[in-house]
Amino acid sequence: MAVLLSDHLHYDWKAPHGPDNDRLVFSKGHAAPLLYAMFKAAGAIADEELLTLRKRGSRLEGHPTPGLPWVDVATGSLGQGIPAAVGMALAARLLDLDLRCWVLLGDSEMAEGSVYEAFELAGFYRLSSIIAIVDMNRLGQRGPTMAQWDGEPYAARARAFGWNAQILDGHDREAIHRAYQEAEASSRPTCLVARTRKGAGVSFLEDKEGWHGKALSADEAKRALAELGDPAGDLVVETRRPRQASAPRTPSAGAFTPPRYEVGTKVATREAFGDALRALGAARGDVVVLDGEVSNSTFSERFLKADAARFFEIYIAEQQLVSAAVGMQVLGLRPFAATFAAFFSRAYDQVRMAAISRAHLGLVGSHAGVSIGEDGPSQMALEDLAMMRAVHGSTVLYPSCATTAAELTRQMASRDGITYLRTTREKTPVLYGSEERFAIGGSKVLRQSPRDVAAVLAAGVTLHEALRAHALLEGEGLAVRVVDLYSVKPIDAVTVEACARECGGQLVVVEDHWPQGGLGDAVCEVFAGRPSPPSVARLGVRDMPGSGTPAQLLDAAGISAEHIAAAVRRIGRGGTGPGGG
Amino acid sequence: MAVLLSDHLHYDWKAPHGPDNDRLVFSKGHAAPLLYAMFKAAGAIADEELLTLRKRGSRLEGHPTPGLPWVDVATGSLGQGIPAAVGMALAARLLDLDLRCWVLLGDSEMAEGSVYEAFELAGFYRLSSIIAIVDMNRLGQRGPTMAQWDGEPYAARARAFGWNAQILDGHDREAIHRAYQEAEASSRPTCLVARTRKGAGVSFLEDKEGWHGKALSADEAKRALAELGDPAGDLVVETRRPRQASAPRTPSAGAFTPPRYEVGTKVATREAFGDALRALGAARGDVVVLDGEVSNSTFSERFLKADAARFFEIYIAEQQLVSAAVGMQVLGLRPFAATFAAFFSRAYDQVRMAAISRAHLGLVGSHAGVSIGEDGPSQMALEDLAMMRAVHGSTVLYPSCATTAAELTRQMASRDGITYLRTTREKTPVLYGSEERFAIGGSKVLRQSPRDVAAVLAAGVTLHEALRAHALLEGEGLAVRVVDLYSVKPIDAVTVEACARECGGQLVVVEDHWPQGGLGDAVCEVFAGRPSPPSVARLGVRDMPGSGTPAQLLDAAGISAEHIAAAVRRIGRGGTGPGGG
């Protein structure tokens, strides 16, 4: 890191978000003290701040976060820095930026599969701007690593994924300097396996177990500094300037021409997402799309066909899919990453960390719920709403019709934080004309009367079942309100409360999702701390589904129109709704 | 697969759960029709059942699940079959079973990082019983794979991870036969990269895009069969018998000696988990423990020190950690997998699929919530309850004291399904004596009076804050009930309802978790469909935490005793509790 900081990193510390800066990612986030020492040496932070390490209110947290302007992405969950760098390198290529992405990895971290997703994609796309340095110090948190000081396995893996690789002495500055020079000139990504001794130069620390994450006592610190020859406390390093002057890149701006769908025709929301994505691409030069090798299922292929340069095929590597999106937004792009909703569960840690990275990006999951039909439970997202609601600052959207899906897609591109759109495999009737407006945090009351015995709150495929239930009940003289809760988080608390007030305190929530963490929980959260909350009956998927037609599976799960109507009838007759499970 | 079925698979179709059977895993679960055709050829299923493929109620789902007795683990989320096989191979070695684990992988699937976690562990542990066959047909769902028909990258990667690897013609039966013979005799795991043509032998299918997951029309099927020379419909294959006769293995049974903790002393629940795990190991020979290279943090090292043979170091590869546990329970073992609770988010897809696999296993996550202190948000589990509640059939436990943690650990070993235990980093006072009993689905009322103005429902670290709040309020003459909701799912609905009834319909839920999907939502679920539910005030973590001491962070998050007391005072004064966020 000393060689990097003094001779190879091109960086303007005064303008950390400048697009021409090299990127520096500590994939081994627990080496934060080293990173902060570099910031200090570069003059970015002062001594007093350095001494706030890990204290309440300090920007110098236990692991790096973008609370510090020189940190692009939060790390600390291992194996996530290098995949983020893949996103940065892809963005740099698109934006024609002459920068390098330097990534420090731990050797324990090389056990994470996400590292190899990154190696694979970087190799395939020849992302020569990536220079990974593996700190092969032999010792993990609780003992030796698998390969210990044998660098060959790491180098062989990197080469097998199409990288240059070199094993070197991580304490030999001249060798490091030469290796960096070669890496900077290479046409492939480079992996430098640096053999190091943890705690080098201090007799009681060097290559010793039991020191991971431990601080020295004052006395030990004194002894250690003496052994190191009492290095000067005020080391100041001048960093090289960025390779090319930053010119502000203003993304091309055009008009967003919303796709239009005729009310009553049947269009899948996933298809409308694809249409809107294409329209967004024409309107905004900063929008990029990432695919988990299912673009013909998510309909992101509509964007690909219109603008292949801003479409990134990440193949079936969902962790890399999300991390690449996180990396791309660091350079000012606005990524949409799409795959089957169920498979975002593969990248939940990456989504969680994206929120800690203060990333702004859109995730779009198709094939939600049992309504996908025959493919069976492995392909059905039944926990995605739970997962995405429990992400800090997230937005969770679940449109019921093509018009809504298209408009929400447009809004996602300007929304802060992690925004998740859940789309449906099956075609569903278009409910709204193109003049309809959809606010995030809003809802639509589709059926209402002064005599409503209950309000059915639904979203996505179950809204159409709710509308069918309304029709069934109407024939029986039973009036029920039907609300489209397309915005799951934030939820339209005003409308939900009005429903409770005006419909006899009787709500029925229907969702194509497990009963936990989804729409039912979101509705109950509205009434947190409120006196006299309404009765909330919940229809959700309680048994493990199998294969079948969408209609069969909706009915078997108890979330079809017939089940909704039955729940409302129980209320209408003065009974209670179905209980929890 | 034909060569495997007729000449290499040792399998008793009448006793699919027999421990000496070879295991056959379709990691590319979408090849289910091929698997079912093999079952048919082996005589395990009849023609009539084969024709129920993907129909409602059929065991022949779109992707394989253990609804079929010859399927060990559900697949269909790619890259999960081979890591499960690692678990099977580890179990086979422990149990001294002479079997092979045959795994069919897709080439698109080779993009998943989880595949390389499996390659890495299998290579490191020299799991020679694993024979992986990569169906290199060049075509993914929406187009060509990265490597297309170049087998070298796959072979080079396998070798770099310590495997034997061979590239062969996947249509050359003789070559396949020889390769299987070599693989069966090898002292390393073997990867056979089989060059195949998708739809081979049918002119309009062979190596053509656009046929992924599509069925032929009746006419197309006729043409295809004609081109293939109208193969006999009643192909019957005799499979080889298992290599050694099955002898029922009864795990050694001893007495469980529960660890004892003195009430009032301070012990971390993670430490009690470690103690109980060691005691379980002595009592039950089927218990095995898997570690994500943090055994000194989760305290699973207590088991390691007592019985190293049944302790498996999976290193920092959380996906493999969960998948190995799934694989091990196939062979009758009872696995506990432990890492930081936050890092189970890395394996959420594996946990989801484990439920579809009908797996029985324990997951134990330490370092829950902001109460871990200085390490910062990347290490804090704040969504694990949401994640684990939304797993089908799951049990979610969150003990507040060492006695509870130890006893729940014992019960986890006999519980069906996915059982999750959340433990705390900090030491907390022991609340219960060793005579106390803890039912899953139960709770403990720790403070109550006839004058309670509200009930505070808490678990883990917040229970101790609730008890402190009780003491604060007592001094002010305000009585409040305090309940230990150590069983988050299933929750003690009877007690929660009694609290609502007896405490003025006023509940206060406090959790070291985001407000979504955790204890607050679990409490509200109790009242689903019930008339006149109580008012539920919720205290949870709403802002992104940083570093700080545990006490500072609990207070900053608004979940400390002072905040709980303030919430109760508002209720006591007739106001309302805090709202949702």
Question: Beta A130-136 vs A190-195: how paired, if at all?
Answer: parallel
What value does the mean pLDDT of chain A take? 96
- Please judge whether B379 and A76 are an interchain contact, meaning their C-beta atoms are less than 8 angstroms apart: yes
Q: Is residue B577, in this structure, part of any structural domain at all? A: no
Cβ within 8 Å of A, B 132-151: 140-142, 145-146
Structure tokens of B563? 């905040």
A318 is an active site residue: yes
Q: Are residues A108 and A137 in the same domain?
A: yes
CA–CA min distance A550, chain B (Å): 10
Task: Quote the CA–CA distance of B577 and B573 in Å, as a whole number.
Answer: 11
Q: How far is CA A463 from CA A425, A458, A508, B160, in A?
A: 15, 5, 12, 52
Helices (H) and strands (E) in chain B, counts: 20, 19
Residue type, B575: G
Q: Supply the CATH number for residue A318's domain.
A: 3.40.50.970
Q: Are residues B306 and B419 in the same domain?
A: yes
Crossing angle for the helix pair B318-330 and B348-356, to the nearest 10 degrees:
20
Task: Quote the CA–CA distance of A329 and A350 in Å, as a whole number.
Answer: 14
Q: Is residue A434, in this structure, part of any structural domain at all? A: no
Measured in whole angstroms, the distance separating CA A296 from the mean position of its chain's CA atoms is: 21
Q: Are residues A344 and A413 in the same domain?
A: yes
Q: Which helix (H) or strand (E) holds A479?
A: none
**Mean local confidence (pLDDT), A442-449:** 98
Q: Are residues A99 and A173 in the same domain?
A: yes
CB-CB contact of B533 with B557 (8 Å): no
Q: Are residues A421 and A502 in the same domain?
A: no
pLDDT of residue A580: 40
- Please judge whether B376 and A76 are an interchain contact, meaning their C-beta atoms are less than 8 angstroms apart: yes
Q: Are residues A67 and A161 in the same domain?
A: yes
Q: Is residue B156, in this structure, part of any structural domain at all? A: yes
CB-CB contact of B98 with A120 (8 Å): no
**Which burial class, exposed, middle or buried, applies to B187 when counting CB atoms under 10 A from its CB (0-12, 13-18, 19+)?**
exposed
Flag whether residue A391 sits within 8 Å of chain B, measured between CB atoms: yes
| A235 backbone φψ class: left, alpha, beta (φ>0; ψ -120 to 50) | beta
Question: Of A402, A429, A456, at which residue does a domain stop?
Answer: A429
Residues of B in contact with A457 (CB under 8 A): none
Cβ within 8 Å of B, A 79-118: 79, 108-109, 111-117
Q: Which residues are registered as beta bridge partners of B334? A: B287
Where are the alpha helices (H) located in B23-172, listed in sequence order?
A: 32-41, 47-50, 81-95, 113-124, 152-160
Q: Is residue B479, in this structure, part of any structural domain at all? A: yes
- Please judge whether B528 and A489 are an interchain contact, meaning their C-beta atoms are less than 8 angstroms apart: no
Task: Quote the CA–CA distance of A380 and A512 in Å, as a whole number.
Answer: 10
Tell which residue, A375, A443, A417, A413, has the closest CA to residue A283.
Answer: A413
Residues of B in contact with A124 (CB under 8 A): 146
Q: Is residue B233, in this structure, part of any structural domain at all? A: no
Under DSSP, the state recorded for A5 is I
pLDDT of residue B230: 84
Q: Are residues A202 and A316 in the same domain?
A: no
User: What is the C-alpha R_g of chain A?
Assistant: 27
Task: Quote the CA–CA distance of A516 and B518 in Å, as a whole number.
Answer: 9
Flag whether residue A420 sits within 8 Å of chain B, measured between CB atoms: no
CB-CB contact of A445 with A276 (8 Å): no
* ipTM for the whole complex: 0.97
Tell which residue, B294, B299, B224, has the closest CA to residue B259.
Answer: B299
pLDDT of residue A367: 96
Looking up tokens 């020492």 gives A37
Under DSSP, the state recorded for B149 is T
Q: Which of A55, A356, A547 lies nearest to residue B56, judging by beta carbons?
A: A547
Q: Which residues are registered as beta bridge partners of A396? A: A420, A489
CB-CB contact of A97 with A333 (8 Å): no
Q: How far is CA A61 from CA A35, A154, A372, A538, B376, in A?
A: 11, 30, 44, 42, 6
Q: Supply the CATH number for residue A516's domain.
A: 3.40.50.920
Tell me which chain A residue has its CA closest to the CA of residue B500.
A532
Cβ within 8 Å of B, A 487-526: 489, 493, 514-518, 520-522, 524-526
Q: Which residues are registered as beta bridge partners of A190? A: A131, A164
CA–CA min distance A320, chain B (Å): 9
Residues of A in contact with B388 (CB under 8 A): none
Q: Which of A157, A489, A577 lies nearest to residue B161, judging by beta carbons?
A: A157
Q: Which residues are registered as beta bridge partners of B195? A: B136, B169
CB-CB contact of A404 with A536 (8 Å): no
Residue B431: which residues within 8 A CB-CB, separation 6 or more?
Answer: B263, B400, B401, B403, B404, B444, B446, B463, B484
Residues of A in contact with B382 (CB under 8 A): 390, 392
Phi, psi of A328 (to 5 degrees): -70, -35
Tell which residue, A25, A1, A21, has the closest CA to residue A12.
Answer: A21
Q: Which helix (H) or strand (E) holds A173?
A: helix A173-185
User: How many contacts, defined by CB atoms under 8 Å, are there between A and B?
Assistant: 380
Task: Give me the average pLDDT of each 10-residue run along chain B (581 residues).
Answer: 97 94 98 97 96 96 98 98 98 96 98 98 98 97 94 98 98 98 98 97 94 92 93 85 73 86 98 98 96 96 96 98 98 98 98 98 97 96 98 98 98 98 97 97 98 98 98 97 98 98 98 98 97 97 97 98 98 65 33
Q: Are residues B386 and B284 in the same domain?
A: yes
CB-CB contact of B368 with B384 (8 Å): yes
Q: Is residue A346, in this structure, part of any structural domain at all? A: yes
Residue B187: which residues within 8 A CB-CB, separation 6 or more?
Answer: B126, B128
Question: Of A228, A247, A275, at which residue does a domain stop?
Answer: A228
Where are the alpha helices (H) located in B341-391, listed in sequence order?
A: 348-356, 384-389
Question: What is the domain extent for residue A169?
Answer: 2-228
Q: Please report, to the nearest 10 degrees, the dihedral formed by the alpha carbons of residues B446, B449, B454, B455 taken in order.
A: 20
**Mean local confidence (pLDDT), A11-25:** 95
Tell which residue, A439, A379, A431, has the closest CA to residue A267.
Answer: A431
**Which burial class, exposed, middle or buried, applies to B285 when counting CB atoms under 10 A from its CB (0-12, 13-18, 19+)?**
middle
How many folded domains does chain B comprise? 3
Q: Are residues A406 and A501 in the same domain?
A: no
CB-CB contact of A103 with A130 (8 Å): yes
**Which burial class, exposed, middle or buried, applies to B255 when counting CB atoms under 10 A from its CB (0-12, 13-18, 19+)?**
exposed
Q: Is residue A128, in this structure, part of any structural domain at all? A: yes
Residues of A in contact with B319 (CB under 8 A): 113
Q: In 10 A of CB A251, how many CB atoms?
A: 13
Q: Is residue A100, in this structure, part of any structural domain at all? A: yes
Q: Are residues B69 and B20 in the same domain?
A: yes
Structure tokens of B429? 């006072």
Cβ within 8 Å of A, B 42-71: 54-58, 60-63, 65, 67
Looking up tokens 């000393």 gives A2
Q: Which of B55, B120, B378 lies nearest to residue A63, judging by beta carbons?
A: B378
Residues of B in contact with A293 (CB under 8 A): 108, 111, 140-142
Residues A329, A303, A439: CA angle, nearest 5 degrees: 65
Residue B232: which residues within 8 A CB-CB, separation 6 or more?
Answer: none
Task: Quote the CA–CA distance of B519 and A390 in Å, as a whole number.
Answer: 12
| Largest interatomic CA distance in chain A | 90
Q: Which of A58, A117, A390 lies nearest to residue B547, judging by beta carbons?
A: A58
Question: Which residues of B have a catalytic role annotated?
Answer: 318
CB-CB contact of A32 with A40 (8 Å): no
Flag whether residue B374 sits within 8 Å of chain A, measured between CB atoms: yes
| Largest interatomic CA distance in chain B | 90
**Mean local confidence (pLDDT), A81-94:** 98
Residue A500: which residues within 8 A CB-CB, separation 6 or more?
Answer: A455, A506, A507, A527, A533, A534
Structure tokens of B337? 């997998």
Q: Which helix (H) or strand (E) holds B497?
A: helix B493-502
- Please judge whether B538 and A524 are an interchain contact, meaning their C-beta atoms are less than 8 angstroms apart: no
Beta strands in A188-344 (DSSP E): 190-195, 266-268, 287-291, 311-313, 334-340
Looking up tokens 């660091």 gives A330
Q: Are residues A219 and A79 in the same domain?
A: yes
Cβ within 8 Å of B, A 323-352: 342-343, 345-346, 348-349, 352
Q: Which residues are registered as beta bridge partners of A291? A: A313, A338
Q: Are residues A131 and A10 in the same domain?
A: yes
**DSSP symbols for A98-142:** ---EEEEEESGGGG-HHHHHHHHHHHHTT-TTEEEEEEE-SB-SS
Question: Of B180, B202, B228, at which residue does a domain stop?
Answer: B228
Tell which residue, A457, A575, A455, has the closest CA to residue B530.
Answer: A575
Residues of A in contact with B544 (CB under 8 A): 355-356, 392-393
- Please judge whether A547 and B54 are an interchain contact, meaning their C-beta atoms are less than 8 angstroms apart: yes
Q: In 10 A of CB A260, how many CB atoms?
A: 12
User: Catalytic: which of A112, A318, A465, A511?
Assistant: A318
